[in-house]
């Protein structure tokens, strides 16, 4: 059974981390996959906007002094900044034995279980990858009936954007812990106008970045296992 090696990178710039993910994935494609253990990189980035392959320039309407980086992940624009846990699973899906749809489900489940650890109920929204919370009742268990682009009463707390090359994954998921959320108001998060972004602090959960990172990393290692 394959295990995931967890690497805590601390606060690192986005571009070198993106390049390192690409290099790792490229190199593992040159040798038998059984020789390269899966990894999970956990980090935090200085303020940066990242555009996915589906990203449209008009969804970033006031970048100000925050850099915009074009990437090859799926999805549209999001923001990374201090106080957000970013997790990059580098998984060989062929060896793990599941496909892309299940991979996305497993990442979302890990985020939901992380929120549950802190007493918060996370929800999926049909047609909009990521995890959402009820703004009026973050701890309640009433199901969410919305589907994109209707996000009434919801706030996005975790964003998902992935890339798969020769069955190997990179990019990943971000969980908002205690951030300056203002930069999200300068974009249409994930391409949706008016979509509110929240963090654990906003909904009344006081937790340190390191603890949230530790919980998320262990949930991901568990739920992404073969």
Residue 141: both structure tokens together: 């268990």
Q: Rounded CA gap, 213 and 205, in Å?
A: 15
Strand boundaries in 71-193, DSSP class E: 78-80, 84-90, 123-125, 128-134, 154-165, 168-176
Q: What share of the chain is helix, strand, coil (3-state, %, to 5)?
A: 30, 30, 40
Q: Which residue in 110, 193, 191 sits closest to 158, CA to CA? A: 110
Within a 10 A sphere around the Cβ of 158, how many other Cβ atoms? 26
| Number of residues that this document lists for the chain | 226
How far out from the chain centre does Cα 175 lie? 6
Q: List residues with catalytic annotation.
A: 190
């Amino acid at each position: 059974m394959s295990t995931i090696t967890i690497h805590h990178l601390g606060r690192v710039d986005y571009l070198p981390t993106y390049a390192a993910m690409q290099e790792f994935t490229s190199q593992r494609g040159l040798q038998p996959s059984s020789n390269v253990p899966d990894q999970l990189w956990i980090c935090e980035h200085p303020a940066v906007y990242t555009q996915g392959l589906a990203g449209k320039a008009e969804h970033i309407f006031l970048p100000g002094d925050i850099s915009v980086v074009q990437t090859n992940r799926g999805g549209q624009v999001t923001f990374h900044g201090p106080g957000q846990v970013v997790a990059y699973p580098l998984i060989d899906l062929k060896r793990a034995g599941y496909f892309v749809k299940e991979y996305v489900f497993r990442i979302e489940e890990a985020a939901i279980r992380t929120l549950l650890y802190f007493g918060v109920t996370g929800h999926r929204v049909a047609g909009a990858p990521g995890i959402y919370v009820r703004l009026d009742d973050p701890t309640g268990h009433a199901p969410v009936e919305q589907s994109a682009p209707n996000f009434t009463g919801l706030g996005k707390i975790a964003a998902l954007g992935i890339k798969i090359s020769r069955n190997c994954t990179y990019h990943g998921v971000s969980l908002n812990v205690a951030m300056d959320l203002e930069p999200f108001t300068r974009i249409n998060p994930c391409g949706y106008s008016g979509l509110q972004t929240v963090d654990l602090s906003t909904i009344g959960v006081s937790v340190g970045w390191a603890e949230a990172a530790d919980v998320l990393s262990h949930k991901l290692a568990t739920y992404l296992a073969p």
